[in-house]
Amino acid sequence: MKAILFDFGQTLVNSADGFKAAEKEAKEKLYADLGAERVSWDRFIGEYRKLRKAFHQKSNFSRPAIWQAVCDTFDCEPNPGRLQAWEERYWEQVKMLTTPFPETLGVMETLSRQYRLGLITNTQGQKSTNTHRIALFPELEQFFEVIVVAGEKGISPKPDPMPFRKCLETMNLAAGEAVYVGDDWRIDICGARDVGIQPVWLQHRSVKRNWPAVEPFEPTITSLDELLYLPYENLSI
């Protein structure tokens, strides 16, 4: 095994509080725009969650697109400029409340001495390119030989095979020469496995989350420092 490839959000950094705060504020703004006289909060939140889940299952993470779909459901025409302003505010909140996991930097430093490192991460749906949050963490960015931001520049988002294959091709690696560490079952674990890369499923102990009930999967880790002790040569899909 020559390389370890990583996801970014909820794998190297914890953005849970940021997304929670940003989602709460966005939902409240959207509901206020729709008007309580038009729809009850319970009906609104039910439709919002259903539409957001449908967009995410298609690997479409554009917040304005989700908000527009909610408005369409309730026959409301939002101001496009307002949605754009909300999106900017949304990502500012996420950025402000994103921090590396406590062990991240030390683990990256240790792994980089023995393995080549790469990053394959989905854009979160922002309009502009080259704005991924990894750029806010140069101390992390420096460890990666290749960074693939799927969803930009014609690269389909994970779990599509394209970003995984793009990273392997750029690093001149065969699928069997790398493992991929990620937190999302469908996007990361199934996506990597489908192209022949051995996945490592991170269910970080500090993240409060309902992990999907799937068949027992190995290896599953609860902290990045467990990567220092995995028997990589014995792993197989």
Decide if domain 3-14+99-234 falls under CATH 3.40.30.10: no
Q: What is the pLDDT of residues 100-151, one digit of tens each?
A: 999 999 999 999 999 999 999 998 655 555 557 788 899 999 999 999 999 8
Q: What is the pLDDT of residues 199-237, one digit of tens each?
A: 999 999 998 888 998 887 889 999 999 999 999 888 877
Is residue 95 very low, low, confident or very high in pLDDT (cuts 50, 70, 90)? confident
Query: Can you spell out the DSSP letters for 36-70?
Result: TTTS-HHHHHHHHHHHHHHHHHTT---HHHHHHHH
Cis preceding linkage at 78, omega within 30: no
Query: Which residues fall within 8 angstroms of residue 159, CB to CB, at 6 or more apart?
Result: 59, 186, 187, 188, 190, 191, 194
Give the predicted TM-score (pTM) of the model: 0.88
Kindly list the domain boundaries of the chain, sorted by start residue: 3-14+99-234, 16-96
